[in-house]
Structure 1
Amino acid sequence: MAEPQTAGPRPFELGVMTFGELTRDPVSGKLPSPRQRVRETIEQAQVADQVGLDVFGVGEHHRTDFVGSAPSILLAAAAERTERIRLTSAVTVLSSEDPVRVWEQFATLDLLSEGRAEIIAGRGSYTESFPLFGYDLADYAELFREKLDLLLAIREQNPLTWKGKFRAPLDEADIAPRADGLPIWVGVGGSAASAVSTGRRGLPMALALLLGPLTQHEQTAELYRQAAREAGHEPAAISINVHGYAGRTSQEARETMYPYFAQGMLENNHQRGEGMRISRAAFEAQASPGSGLLVGSSAELIEKLLAYHEFYGLNRVLVQLGFGGVPQKEHLAAIERFGAEVAPVVRREIAA
């Protein structure tokens, strides 16, 4: 089942995303409350909409150091405060979810937002949701395949008769509400098998690049396109999700981002125990032109985004501009700069 295609070339899209992480501020030592972080998330969506960005995403995590265990609810709140921006999960951990319930939630969001909802379905790099909802990690890959098949079947047909291994069968099930052409992307961390499977299905692929060279997913993107064409599809679209920060100057961007990014990597980027320690030298290397972090002045971000597009033939970039609890004032300023100074130039250059 292929992603519904629109006529003409797909426009290049730029957006922002958040995990809603609760990170202790490395400067003040304060830990934001869940209520504070939830309200800040909605404000970020509102500002992103006001400055003309195309997409706002919320990630799904099931731990007390995140507030995004129910992205569809946060996105529904954002729908009421925005007018144009697309609203997506980033990602929905489909392996430990019920596809029927996922459809119901995002179809409702689509109606509420007047057609602006999307799903990025993924296996999940964090695995705490599997035991929480009674799933065995030994079934990690098989769970995702079956549940993605069901989610796509729900989109294509109603009522639906279906039978699988991991949930009760459906017999002429009426699954509502309906949402015509609700976009479903597949989140891929770099796995060749995942890229090939996504290409064969004719679905758009959302890559994630946490750290590493800008060219890290070269083979993944090529395998995706090759698999799509061999299956008789034109490759639907490729997105990449990256960390970054937009500052007035290169130095300001790095000075603002580093302590919070490092704190977030230490406190939030782990399954259990201690997270990843990242030195200032390692951070600077990752911020260099050939590496993945999208941090610097507007001019630097424009240059790197164009390099990303040239290398991968991207259709979309989502940037996590405040990972690690960058204070809201600075976070909103980065969103404003990204929307007002970076996005228009990048769109114009790519269109040309």
Structure 2
Amino acid sequence: MQFGIFTVGDVTTDPTTGRTPSEHERIKAMVTIAQKAEEVGLDVFATGEHHNRPFVPSSPTTMLGWIAARTDRIILSTATTLITTNDPVKIAEDYAMLQHLADGRVDLMMGRGNTGPVYPWFGKDVRQGIPLAIENYGLLRKLWREDVVDWEGKFRTPLQSFTSTPRPLDGVPPFVWHGSIRSPEIAEQAAYYGDGFFANNIFWPKKHFQRLINLYRERYAHYGYGTQEQAIVGVGGHVFMRARSQDAVREFRPFFDHSPQMGGGPSLEEYMEQTPLTVGSPQEVIEKTLTFRESFGDYQRQLFNVDGVGVPLKAVLEQLDILGEEVIPVLRKEFAKNRPVSVPDAPTHASLLAARDAANGGTGISPEVSAV
């Protein structure tokens, strides 16, 4: 099972000091956080994509390429890549390039985002969000899997004898997760292609996400990729820890109360009861996270948010130390217990390459090519 962190890259005022970091400081902090995540033994660092304030990660491939040059092991991902407003041709080329630079340590989470105005900024109609996601991803898959593409659709100009460059590393496209917090159509899309489904369950009650994940599992099996238990699932989480629970609550409460997403509604205690947010001791984070398997079944990827809502970099790095030293080792051990051998690990470039080669008789050449 993979454990990692994701960031949305918000620039938020620290309510305890009144200080707001600059965009430059926040961007540099995200790089520092990614390097620290590898240092403490996490498996994944994922960044969101946003084109509006107060967020800064408008160019995930630029940031992830920079991080790739400064890390050796950690998987670099997105949370999410906007499949609706980005050109599929540019996604295909940008992430294949990143895949080469990172020696395969790349996957993507496709999503529609949650900012309506971004659609007209990129010449798209927000009312076409689902059709855009479906058509654009269908084209992206062709671009990564076919050397020469002839294609015509509704939302962009046709392609004639087009080859996306560079080609995916080793002829194996990056693995794709489809992220959704509200749309059964996206769960269906993930299942249709046998891709992963990531339910970022950090804001809403678990019953909502249970329905989405169960739908994805059912349709994954329907399309013949395996049993429901073998579907590739990821979930989110949000944590803030101190050695003593009361210290964590006292320190985090101002950030919660002033958060545009969380503050002004239920209390911190009510919010923790209803969502995956865990503010407390490392043991409380372990216990809460282990309940996710009870809700969603055995799954493959767990990502935590530790750096949003204005939490200063020093405290974020302390959270990563606690995750790496006290939380993740226990979670790895506990999640491995009673895990059916039929449940697969999260795909990586190496595992996808090995599966491709095994299916092709160990030649590394597709049957279509070898038959020419």
Q: Does the TM-score normalized on the shorter chain lie above 0.5?
A: yes
Match for 1:277 among 263, 266, 274? 263
Equivalent position of 2:246 in the other structure: 251
Tell me how many residue pairs correspond in the alignment.
330
The alpha-carbon distance between structure 1 residues 211 and 74, as it changes in their structure 2 partners (threshold 3 A), is same
Letter of the aligned partner of 2:130 in structure 1?
A
Query: For structure 1, which runs of at least 5 residues remain unmatched after alignment?
Result: 1-11, 270-275
Deviates more, 1:231-240 or 1:22-31: 231-240
Q: Does 1:233 align with 2:225?
A: yes
1:113-136 Cα shifts (integer Å, max 9, x gaps): 111111100011122321111111
Equivalent position of 2:277 in the other structure: 293
Q: Percent identity?
A: 33
Match for 1:139 among 128, 136, 142? 128
Tell me if the contact between 1:306 and 1:350 (Cα under 8 Å) persists in the aligned partners: yes
Equivalent position of 1:273 in the other structure: none
The alpha-carbon distance between structure 1 residues 80 and 258, as it changes in their structure 2 partners (threshold 3 A), is farther
SS, match of residue 323 in structure 2: helix
2:293, 2:60 → 1: CA distance? Answer: 28
TM-score (norm 2): 0.85
Equivalent position of 2:77 in the other structure: 88
SS, match of residue 95 in structure 1: coil
Tell me if the contact between 1:58 and 1:68 (Cα under 8 Å) persists in the aligned partners: yes
Aligned-pair CA distance for 1:105? 1.3
Match for 1:17 among 6, 31, 49? 6
Q: Does 1:306 align with 2:277?
A: no
Aligned-pair CA distance for 1:331? 0.5
1:35, 1:256 → 2: CA distance? Answer: 26
Tell me if the contact between 1:92 and 1:121 (Cα under 8 Å) persists in the aligned partners: yes
Matches within 5 A, 1:156-171: 156-171=145-160
Equivalent position of 2:31 in the other structure: 42
Equivalent position of 2:179 in the other structure: 187
Aligned-pair CA distance for 1:214? 3.5
Aligned-pair CA distance for 1:73? 1.0
Letter of the aligned partner of 2:211 in structure 1?
Q
1:65-117 Cα shifts (integer Å, max 9, x gaps): 11111111111111122111111110011100001111211111111111111
Tell me if the contact between 1:257 and 1:322 (Cα under 8 Å) persists in the aligned partners: no
Aligned-pair CA distance for 1:309? 2.0
Letter of the aligned partner of 2:289 in structure 1?
L
Match for 2:143 among 151, 154, 169? 154
Equivalent position of 2:357 in the other structure: none
- Across the aligned residues of Structure 1 and Structure 2, the Cα RMSD in angstroms comes to 1.6
Q: Does 1:343 align with 2:325?
A: no
Aligned-pair CA distance for 1:64? 2.7
SS, match of residue 15 in structure 1: strand
Deviates more, 1:56-65 or 1:237-246: 237-246
1:138, 1:216 → 2: CA distance? Answer: 23
Q: Does 1:203 align with 2:195?
A: yes
Matches within 5 A, 1:63-74: 63-74=52-63
Quick check: which has more Rg, 1 or 2?
A: 2
Aligned-pair CA distance for 1:307? 0.8
